[in-house]
Chain A
């Protein structure tokens, strides 16, 4: 299975901060990577697909980049509603696997 490793596991930030999360795949996955946001008690929501494509309706402060094994997810200016857990997920090969998650908390 392809292992997805996110860093950091958690971070503390303030409204207005720029937040960056990295995701590393255990093998080359090209651009086959999605990013999700999950709030407590809710289902995940897709933000970025194909490494860098913004899902319809998602604010432009969210962005993604990378290919191969190294990927980055950025929130340009953190908003109050962005405190949540973020997951990367690869679809290059079955089984589809997720990173362990990065919890973005209030500083």
Chain B
């Protein structure tokens, strides 16, 4: 049973920072692209960032670019999201998820197949 467990969420003041972690069990994170996806209270899903297995490639949503940094520690089988300059619009449940790539008959695609339980980040004074 693949498990991804996020931690590090909590209450932070506007302008503050927080570091989220995602630990994998039975899933070797270094073999996979991994993403962070967030969901504001009562709202839809928003992809935040992804990182390649080696960590050499990272991509971000424009809404977090320059403020958030995705990273990984393959020795600890862990994924991180460093969040700086937080605002109320960053209040959300943050999920880590495996970004599974596949190819069928020469056509390749991606979907999020394993997700953590989520960790709530609340930005408020």
Given the complex of chains A and B, what is the CA–CA distance between A37 and B58 in angstroms? 27
A96 within 8 A of B: yes
Given the complex of chains A and B, what is the CA–CA distance between A43 and B111 in angstroms? 14
Given the complex of chains A and B, what is the CA–CA distance between A70 and B112 in angstroms? 21
A80 within 8 A of B: no
A76 within 8 A of B: no
Contact count band on B: 20 to 34
Q: Which of B27-84 contact A (CB under 8 A)?
A: 35, 44-47, 59, 61-62
Given the complex of chains A and B, what is the CA–CA distance between A31 and B115 in angstroms? 23
Taking A43-B116, A49-B111 as known contacts, 4 extra A-B pairs with beta carbons closer than 8 A to each other, sorted by chain A number, are A1-B62, A50-B107, A55-B111, A98-B44
A-B contact pairs, 18 of them (CB 8 A): A1-B62, A34-B111, A34-B112, A36-B112, A43-B115, A45-B115, A46-B111, A46-B113, A49-B102, A55-B113, A95-B59, A95-B61, A95-B62, A96-B35, A96-B47, A96-B110, A97-B47, A101-B45
Please give the residue numbers on chain A whose beta carbons come within 8 Å of chain B beta carbons, in ascending order: 1, 31-32, 34, 36, 38, 42-46, 49-50, 53, 55, 87, 89, 91, 94-101
